[in-house]
Amino acid sequence: MTDSDYALVIGDKNYSSWSLRPWLLMRQFSIPFQEINIDIYQPGARNRILEHSPSGLVPALKSGDLVIWDTLAVIEFLAERHPGLPIWPEEPDTRALARCVAAEMHSGFADLRSEMPMDFLHLKPVANISDAVARNIRRIVGIWRSCRSRAGAQPYLFGAFCAADAMYAPVASRLRTYGVDLSAHGDDGTAATYCETALSGPAIAEWAEGARRQIAERGRTY
């Protein structure tokens, strides 16, 4: 099995926040893969996903006969398959913290996720934010500030880009889309700067271009 035997099954680039995470990670670490894109808002989408992924959800990574159908499991699988790549930080304590914040994202922030769904390309500033979402945002700002305080010169959460950054990229996108003023949620500028970092670079630009192309081809937004 070679790396290029990977196929990543993903949903609409403008909307599928879980899909963005492993896609971005694989691009950032130059892990080759074939992309299988499913229009998850079309009738019959669930059956099309089920052809690839037993959970009926995207993303899923296919590697030969093996299917890994959960974002964090995909990241861990890739980290084990590519031990030479710094998918997690090398220093053990830092690695434990990176896993902590990634896991907190994976299992948490339900209010932010449901009230501010990812809409990668668009800006839809909101005047009022619910208390529940505000609590999520304050915690995210706290996480980002704490990670950045030990990160050194490089601009990502733990310095160089790692899996934790892939997990939070869709959060940065949501904060941009809904025009969230992070200074009202405990930010001293660190989180706002990190947001810009998280949404810059060639891999993110490629994702945005893909989202634009899909919207043009499918002739609709949601």
Positions touching ligand GSH (CB under 6 A) are 11, 16-19, 40, 46, 57-59, 70-72, 106
Q: How far is the CB of 181 from ligand GSH (least distance, A)?
A: 26
Do 42 and 79 meet the contact criterion of CB atoms below 8 Å apart?
no
Cβ nearer to ligand GSH, comparing 3 with 39: 39
DSSP secondary structure string for all residues of 138-154: HHHHHHHHHHHHT--SS
Side chain identity at 189, as an amino acid letter? Answer: G
d(CA 103, CA 72): 8
Nearest to 215 by CA among 37, 49, 60: 37
Q: How far is the CB of 49 from ligand GSH (least distance, A)?
A: 6
Cβ nearer to ligand GSH, comparing 151 with 207: 207
Cβ nearer to ligand GSH, comparing 72 with 147: 72
Q: How far is CA 37 from the centre of its chain?
A: 16
Nearest to 172 by CA among 72, 78, 105, 108: 105
**What are the counts of helices (DSSP H) followed by strands (DSSP E) for the chain?**
9, 4
Q: How far is the CB of 147 from ligand GSH (least distance, A)?
A: 21
Cβ nearer to ligand GSH, comparing 94 with 173: 173
Cβ nearer to ligand GSH, comparing 58 with 215: 58
Q: How far is the CB of 10 from ligand GSH (least distance, A)?
A: 9
Structure tokens at 46: 């669930």
Q: How far is the CB of 59 from ligand GSH (least distance, A)?
A: 6
Q: How far is the CB of 218 from ligand GSH (least distance, A)?
A: 16
Cβ nearer to ligand GSH, comparing 8 with 182: 8
Sheet holding 60-63, edge to edge: 34-37, 6-10, 60-63, 66-68
